[in-house]
Amino acid sequence: MQANNDPFAGKPPLVEANGITVLRSGKEILSNANLKVRSGEIVTLIGPNGAGKTTIVRVVLGLITPDRGVVVRRPDLVIGYMPQRLSIDPTLPLSVGRFLILGAGRRRYSPDQQARVLDEVGVGEILDTPVQAASGGEFQRVVLARALLRDPDILVLDEPSQGIDVTGQADLYRLITRIRDRRGCGVLMVSHDLHLVMADTDEVVCLNQHVCCAGHPETVTSDPAYIQLFGKQVAGALAVYHHHHDHEHDAHGNVVPHDGTQGSHDHHDHEEGPHG
């Protein structure tokens, strides 16, 4: 149940999935699951391996037709998708710029457009670099830039921090939040990095082949179903931050409070949990 002070109350969903059930070999791998994402909202799917997180993402994307349930997408919805794994043949002569527009079909993106999205994700200097020469962190940002090139209404990110060290993971999640702040797009994200994604997630959906619990991070981490799934130790150790949404970010990621004064990017006006 949404809190009365839900900042997204009244916003129509970009995408809404209701009663989603998916069968494999006659067995339910996802049962009666509900999900919605609104403009400017970050929704994070969490749960153990095999919980159905990637399955419901594929249903939302239209890659899987559910056995029961419906998905309603806003008309003309543009989706930017960052898959869980994407490997490039090491012998393929492919620059970062060429990779960005690979599979674009009839769409035409100029080098300036490519450079802009690479700048936005912090790797503008590698436009002409071979994809294989990019580090793990750089490559994930390039894949994110590829999703942004379409100017999406919603970003769908399946385990975006795969193959990145802890410092890089934290930087990437902060970047995703800044992108949301600047663009106002919705974000649907699958993640195992609970201690990192809780900082700026607006809604958490906990899956274990069905929706165990859902709501704001503070609500979910105290829910008995969440504690049963992840254990008291994990639930108690998570530092949950509540984002007041009392500022915006400029093009460089710096905080601009609503009074118009410039602030430091590190001041997010979050309330820290006991281990923050």
Percent of the chain clearing pLDDT 70 (strictly above): 80
DSSP 8-state class, residue 237: H
Residue 211 lies in a domain: yes
pLDDT at 169: 86
- Boundaries of domain holding 211: 1-41+54-77+194-276
Residue 201 lies in a domain: yes
Alpha helices in 184-260 (DSSP H): 194-197, 217-220, 224-230, 232-237
Residue 258 lies in a domain: yes
Residue 233 lies in a domain: yes
Query: pLDDT 10s digit of each residue in the chain, 276 long?
Result: 444 567 787 889 999 999 999 999 989 999 999 999 999 999 999 988 889 999 999 999 999 999 999 999 999 999 999 988 777 877 788 999 989 988 666 678 888 999 999 999 999 999 999 998 888 889 899 999 999 998 999 999 998 887 788 888 888 899 999 999 999 999 999 987 777 777 788 999 999 999 998 988 888 877 888 788 877 655 555 544 434 434 443 433 444 444 444 443 333 333 333 333
pLDDT at 235: 56
pLDDT at 4: 54
Question: How many domains is the chain partitioned into structurally?
Answer: 1
Residue 250 lies in a domain: yes
Q: pLDDT per residue over 145-185, tens digit each?
A: 999 998 999 999 998 887 788 888 888 899 999 999 999 99
- What sign has the CA pseudo-torsion 253, 256, 258, 260? negative
Q: Name the residue with tokens 């201690």.
A: 195
Residue 73 lies in a domain: yes
Instruction: Please provide the DSSP assignment of 2-63 as one string.
Output: --TT-TTTTPPEEEEEEEEEEEETTEEEEEEEEEEEETT-EEEEE--TTSSHHHHHHHHHTS
CA gap 265, 276 in Å, rounded: 17
Closest CA to 193 of 50, 51, 45: 45
Residue 254 lies in a domain: yes
Residue 203 lies in a domain: yes
